[in-house]
Amino acid sequence: MMSTHVKFLAIIFLFVETVNSQQLHLNPMLYLDSYMANQSTAGLRGVKVISAIYRSQWEKQSFTPRIFAAHFTSPIKSIKGAYGLTFYNRSHGVMDHNGVKTSYNQVFAGKDVLSSVGLGIQYDWLTLDYSSIRTPEGTYIGSVISHNDPILNQLKLSQQALSLNFSYYLQSYIIDAGVEVGLPFAHIRPSGARIITSEKILKIVLHKEYLYNSWMISGSFYNFSDFKVNQEELRADIRYKNQFGSGFMWRGFRKNSLDAIGTQFSFNLMGTTWLSYQIEWPLFSSVSRSYGITQQFGLKFDLKAKDPLSRYPIIYNPRW
């Protein structure tokens, strides 16, 4: 009996993970805090940053995925380095995914470029709680399910994993580019049960900024991958006097990746605080009718920020 229900739960998780794989570690408000895209960007602007996002995805679905993430980064001027700390929670139907990551990056200043090399360690704890499913008795996905079954009500699977994150970020006049790779090295799971299919992660970032009078225009390309599925994103953002901004994003490029378009608005309060809002729509009408919109809210504090209109006031390199 137990093995049958475990198989059934595995089928549910496979569906959830297949859909979820199209949104690989996706915190699309990347313009708000670049640490979300590459841990080696911590401290490059020479300010301490506290940021948080809340994302509600596909709001027509009963299993609406929700993400909360909070970040803290700070430069360490005495040794030309920086550290970062992240907490996050992702819930998706019966799945609850919690994690924490800490990292350190060392900055190397060259004549025309700035390099940052980072190392992080990440802890993930994922739980599938089958007792949270509430269905009437009868047939469900080809199986006979009784919500009164005491075995089902007690069924909960969990897994923990530790991963190492290696990152590199290059900043120059021409373009910014970064890569981050996460590889698991330890798992704690019930015997014979594997509910995390892969914790591998690859992030690639290309970024370019232009400053014209009081306007700052930026364009970015992001690629997220678990070495099996890729998720691409293009962004274009514009800010005026570092007081308010708007932008456009296009994600996916493939029908099977639930392509979406979106726009964002952000406002600067009191010089150090940013409030942001982003909304996305699936591009294809059939997906739009069944999944609905995605919304995301962001908040960021820049502590001891200076000269906000200049190009990245990096504390390690006086050429900017």
3-state secondary structure 195-219: CCCCCCEEEEEEEEEEEECCEEEEE
CATH number at residue 30: 2.40.160.40
Number of domains in the chain: 1
Non-local (6+) Cβ contacts of 264 within 8 A are 29, 31, 237, 246, 247, 249, 276, 277, 278, 279
How do residues 29-47 score in pLDDT, each as one tens digit?
677 888 988 999 998 888 8
pLDDT, residue 183, reads 92
145 found inside a domain: yes
Give the tokens for residue 261: 């378009």
Q: Quote the mean pLDDT of the chain.
A: 75
3-class DSSP assignment, residue 55: strand
Summarize pLDDT for 50-84 with one digit per residue, the tens: 999 998 876 666 566 788 899 999 998 888 899 99
**Residue 304 structure tokens:** 């001891």
Kindly indicate the confidence band of residue 194, based on its pLDDT and cuts at 50, 70 and 90.
low
- The per-residue pLDDT for range 122-152, each reduced to its tens digit, is 998 888 765 555 444 444 444 444 445 444 4
Written as six digits, the tokens of 270 are: 């009191």
| Helical residues (DSSP H) of 98-247, grouped into ranges | 150-154
Within a domain: residue 200?
yes
Residue 317, domain member (yes or no) = no
Residue 309 lies in a domain: no
Percent of the chain exceeding pLDDT 90 equals 26
229 or 28, which is more confident: 229
Which residue range(s) make up the domain with 203? 2-303
Domain assignment present for residue 11? The answer is yes
CA dist., res. 49 & res. 305, Å (int):
9
Q: Give a yes or no: residue 143 inside a domain.
A: yes
The verdict on residue 289 lying in a domain is yes
Please report, for residues 106, 211, 219, 265, 266, the alpha-carbon distance to residue 240 in angstroms, rounded to integers and kept in the order given.
32, 10, 15, 12, 11
Indicate the pTM of the whole model: 0.78
Return the residue matching tokens 């409030």: 275
Give every CB contact of residue 12 below 8 A, 6+ residues apart in sequence.
Answer: 93, 94, 141
In a domain, 114, yes or no: yes
